[in-house]
Amino acid sequence: MTRRIIIPAAALVAALALGACGKENVETSDIAPQYREGATLFVENCSGCHTLSSVGAEGSAIKINNRERVDGPNFDQRAETKQNVLYALHNGGFSGAIMPENILTGEDAQKVADFLAKYAGAEKPAPASPQG
């Protein structure tokens, strides 16, 4: 009997978590005009799983007790090169395990990569490329 209640509740939580993707507040007014399109694409496609406070995205785990498997790196803390963003977009993150592949391709991928290369990780240098 309790099982019947627990399963739909879990499904609802999952649905809400997915629904959060792309429905964050778009706050791109602080973004330089040439990066705004990339910022909007980031908010629409990435903010459910990644944090970046310059656009009000809070998708990464902030507290250990609300951590989820899909939580991606926090782009306030982690810098990215354009090449790494394009690699992650094409392959689904660096591991290919959680982040969907090819969420954005072509020009849209370029725009988000330019935006992140500029705005991600003010505090730390970009990590080495996974390609070596």
Closest to ligand HEC by CB, 31 or 99: 99
What's the number of CA atoms in the CB half-sphere (13 Å) around residue 14?
7
In this structure, the dihedral spanned by the alpha carbons of residues 66, 72, 78 and 82, taken in order and rounded to 10 degrees, is: -160
Please give the residue whose beta carbon sits closest to ligand HEC in the complex: 93
Q: Which two tokens stand for residue 75?
A: 């782009």
Q: Which of 46, 52, 57, 117 binds ligand HEC (CB under 6 A)?
A: 46
Identity of the residue numbered 35: Y
Closest to ligand HEC by CB, 12 or 67: 67
Work out whether 56 is an interface residue with ligand HEC (CB under 6 A): no
Q: Which of 35, 48, 52, 111 binds ligand HEC (CB under 6 A)?
A: 48
From the list 89, 121, 117, 105, the residue with the least C-alpha distance to 32 is 117
Segment interacting with ligand HEC (CB under 6 A) among 6-14, 29-37, 86-94? 86-94
Long-range contacts of 5-10 (CB under 8 A, 24+ apart): none
From the list 3, 125, 108, 122, the residue with the least C-alpha distance to 46 is 108
Work out whether 55 is an interface residue with ligand HEC (CB under 6 A): no
Residues lying near ligand HEC in the complex (CB under 6 A): 21, 45-46, 48-50, 70, 72-73, 78, 80, 84-85, 88-89, 93-95, 97-99, 103-104, 112, 116, 127
